[in-house]
Structure 1
């Protein structure tokens, strides 16, 4: 009897993991920029009054994609200057570790992954402009999160959950973690802005 229950549990876990992958991504979504003090004033134009930013971003991939943050300083035209990337992903480039990570935790990395800053792979983004004090606070939180994040597991400790922790630290509401990355970033922005 325990073997049958174990098989049913495994089948249920596989069904849950696969169901989150069944929807299709949309074409790249427009870029949005908000100020941290008034997230309700979303705009697609560049705002050059702030020198600091964090951008919640998703990108396309061979799988269902990836969610992460890009952060740093902006030049006077609103262009990124030496941006940093942080996100949670399997540490290995071996595809089998990615598959295994859908069932048990696997070692994780918390930095840049291939394609994160390549525009052709960006599927959605929401840039939040920050004061210097806000920027220092969120970067300290990201560094702390990077220091303690040792594993990735698709159903409970995935890139959406990790990025959502940063958003919650900043005071934002977050959607469920089982969305595709593009949907997660789009809903994150929609939940916290009026535009």
Structure 2
């Protein structure tokens, strides 16, 4: 009779121990999987955050580069038109800045100065975010525009734009800096 009573108790104890051990194993497996899943989620979130920050930074730099190109084109065009404007030489011959007839459709000296100020601001912004190669190209553009600006204000002919500072060269340097690659067979049209 003891064997009959011990048998169901033994079975119950073995079943209870098996349930406890099985629960502990399942709980440990769940904890390990949850921890791995959480660390994977954290890594994915960190990767997504890094990619988003890179995209925002690249977009910000792209906008600064676009502003620089716009300011360069606007300033060069205004300087070019300004130098073609007839000056009023009958009033004050000692003035270093020619008096431009604004009613003739030509820009006056204040418009050229404003464009130069905007160009300088765009150059400064670009200098803060650009890499070394792009800063070197931008510096050369700045020097060229400064030379043209001074020549225009002094009434001299503006110097020609060097071929190595063409619009295409500047755009290609920007694309290289931004990691954008354009096919060599598709040239970027010049704004002129």
What TM-score do the two structures reach when normalised by structure 2?
0.26
Instruction: Name the structure where helix makes up a greater proportion of residues.
Output: 2
Instruction: Name the structure where strand makes up a greater proportion of residues.
Output: 1
Which structure would you say has the larger Rg?
Answer: 2
Relative CO higher for 1 or 2, CA cutoff 8 Å, sep ≥ 6? 1
What TM-score do the two structures reach when normalised by structure 1?
0.26
